[in-house]
Structure 1
C-alpha cells in the first residue's frame, strides 16, 4: 500500500493536531472550572436559604419576647447560623461567599444582632413598651433582607459565569467537531489520492493491465498453492520486426492489441499482467488442464480471426504453461518459472519451424 503524503499534508496534519490538543486542554479546564462554579453555586444557595431563615426566625423571636415567651433555643439557633455564615463554623456546612458587598452586609447585620440581643434582654427586664425593640426589629429585618439580596446577586454572578462557560465549552466542542470533520475529509482525500497513485504505480500506462510491479507483488506471495492454479507465460514473437520495419508506434499498437486479446479471452476473475516489454503473464485460479487448454484454444482462434483482417501487424506469440499439482510444492513464483521454461522451449520451436518454412519456400 502506497502512502504518499507530501510535506504540506504532514504540516497541515501537525497543525490540526496541535490545535485539537489545545482545544481538548481548554475544554478540560472549562469543565473543571464549571464544576467548581456549580459547587460554589450549590453552597451559595444554602447560604441564601439560611440567611433567609435568620430573617424570619429573628422576627419570630422578637414576637415571642414581646409576648413574654422566652425561647433560648431559638436565640442559640440564630447565634449559630450567623456564626456559620460569618466564620463557616458549626454544623450547618455553610460556605464563605467571596463577595465584598455580601461580606459587608453580613458584618453589619451580625453587629446589629448583638445590639438587638441586648435590647431583648431589656425587654425581659422592663417590658417591651419601655424599649425600642419594635423599631430595631424592623431595622434588623431590612439589614437581613439586604444581606440575602447581596447573596442572591452573588449567586446570579456565578450563574452567569456558568452560562458563559457553557457557551465557551459548546464553542470549543463545535471547533473540535469541525476539526474531526476536516481530519476525516483530509483522510478520505488522502485515501482516494493514495488509491489513485497506487493504481498508477501498479498499472501499465500503455495497456491498462497490471504492470511488472504488480506482477512482482503477486509473485512475492510465498504461500503454497492449495487450489489447482495455472500460470501461463506469453511472449510476442514479432515485436522487434514490427518496430524495425514499421516503427515503434506500430509496435506499441501491436502490444496493445495483444493485451486486449488476452484480457478479452481470459476470464475476468483471473489475473493478466504485462511482465515486461513483450512478455505477459496470466494466472488462472481454481482451474483444470481442460479449462487451460480451452482458454489457449480460444486465444488461438481469436488471434487467427484478428490476423485475417487487412492488418499487416500480425499477432504471433509463444507460450508456456504449468498447472499446480496436489503435492503442495508450488508457489506462484515456482509455477511461473516452470511456465517460463516451457515458453522458451515453445519459442525455440516456433523459430525452428519458421526457418524450416523459409527454406522450403525458397
Structure 2
C-alpha cells in the first residue's frame, strides 16, 4: 500500500510538471501575442496621429473655396487664397508643404481627394474665366456647389478612416486586456501549482525521513543529525535503546505482535521524552534520543520516568511486556565532542547494559 501511495504521489508530481510545461508554453505564446498586439496598436496610433489635423484642413479647404468663389464673384481677386488652397491640397495628397499634414493610407479617402483635386483644377480655370468675362458668363456657382459636395465627401472619408482606426485600437485594447487577464490567470495557476508542489515536496521529504511503522524519524533522519560534524557547544545527551525481547515476541507470538511491540515502545519513548527533543528509530529494534540543553540529573530523571511508565504498562496484564537496554552519554564529559562521537559512546554503554541484562536473565 505504501509503494502504491508513493507511486501515486510521484505520478501526480509528474502530471503537475507536465501541466507546468504546458502553462509555460501557453504563457510564452500569450506574451508573444501581447507584444504583437502592442506593436500593432503603436502602428495604428501612429496612423491616427495627425488624422484630426487632416480632417480640420480638409474642412478648411471646403469653406475657404466657397469664400474664394464669393470673392471672385464680387470682383475681389485673391491669388494668395488660391495659393493657400493649392498648398493644402498638395499637403493632403503628398504630405508636403508647411502645414504638417499627413497622408492618410485609405483608398476611399485618397480616391475622394483625387477627384476633389482634379475638380479644383477645373474650378481654377473657371475662376480665370470669371476674372476675364464676369461670373454671369460662367458656371462658377454650380461648379462651386459641386466642389463643396466633393470636399464634404473627402472630409467624411477622412472621418470614416479615423473612426476605423479608432475601432481597431479599441479592439486591440480589448484583446490586450483579455491577453493580460489570461496571463494573470496563468500566473495565479503557476503560483498555486508551485505552492502545491512545495507541499508535495515537503510531504515527500517528511516521508523520506519518517519511519512508516512508528511515525518517528527514521534511520535517515537519525543519520542526518549524526552527520553534523560541528563540535557540540551546549550540553547535549544521546541515549541509545534496544528492545530486549523483540525476537522472543516474534518467535512466539508472530511478527505482527513484534510490530505492535515496536509501536508500543515508540509511543512510550515519545510520551516520556520532552517534545522539543529528538526521538528516532535507528533501525530494527534500536531507537535513539537526543536531549538538548540538558544535564546528567535531567537525563537520569527522564530514564527513571521511562522505567516507571514501562513498569506501569507492563503491569496492566500486557501480554507483550516491554523490556529494553539503554546507554547514554553526555557531551560535557568529552572534549570536542560531535554527535557521532556521542552516539558511539552511548551505543557502547547500551551494549554493556544489554550484556548485563542477558546475564541477569541467565
Q: What's the CA shift string for 1:89-136, capped at 9, x where partnerless?
A: 123332222222111110111111122222333333444344333222
Which whole-Å CA distance do the structure 2 matches of 1:40 and 1:91 have between them? 20
Aligned mate of 1:208, from 199, 205, 215:
215
Q: Which moved more, 1:8-17 or 1:29-38?
A: 8-17
Q: What's the CA shift string for 1:247-289, capped at 9, x where partnerless?
A: 2222112111111110001111111111111100111122222
Shift of 1:299: 0.8
Q: Which moved more, 1:7-16 or 1:257-266?
A: 7-16
Aligned mate of 2:102, from 95, 105, 109:
95
Aligned mate of 1:286, from 271, 274, 293:
293
Shift of 1:145: 0.3
Could you tell me which residue of structure 2 aligns to residue 358 of structure 1? none
Aligned mate of 2:329, from 308, 322, 325:
322
Which whole-Å CA distance do the structure 1 matches of 2:122 and 2:333 have between them? 110
Q: Show the 5 A alignment for 1:166-177.
A: 166-177=173-184
Q: What's the CA shift string for 1:50-100, capped at 9, x where partnerless?
A: 211211222222233334444433322221111011111123332222222
What RMSD in Å do the two structures reach over aligned CA positions? Answer: 2.3
3-state DSSP of counterpart to 2:97: coil
3-state DSSP of counterpart to 1:145: helix
Q: What's the CA shift string for 1:303-325, capped at 9, x where partnerless?
A: 12112221232212111222223
Could you tell me which residue of structure 1 aligns to residue 256 of structure 2? 249
Shift of 1:232: 1.1
Aligned mate of 2:128, from 121, 126, 137:
121
Q: Show the 5 A alignment for 1:23-38.
A: 23-38=30-45
In structure 2, stretches of 5+ residues that fail to align are: 1-5
Q: Which moved more, 1:215-224 or 1:204-213?
A: 215-224
Could you tell me which residue of structure 1 aligns to residue 317 of structure 2? 310
Aligned mate of 2:82, from 69, 75, 84:
75
3-state DSSP of counterpart to 2:283: coil
In structure 1, stretches of 5+ residues that fail to align are: 356-362
Structure 1 residue 22 corresponds to structure 2 residue 10: no
Could you tell me which residue of structure 2 aligns to residue 337 of structure 1? 344
- Asked whether the equivalents of residues 4 and 194 of structure 1 are also in contact (C-alpha less than 8 Å), the reply is no
TM-score computed with the length of structure 2 as normaliser: 0.90
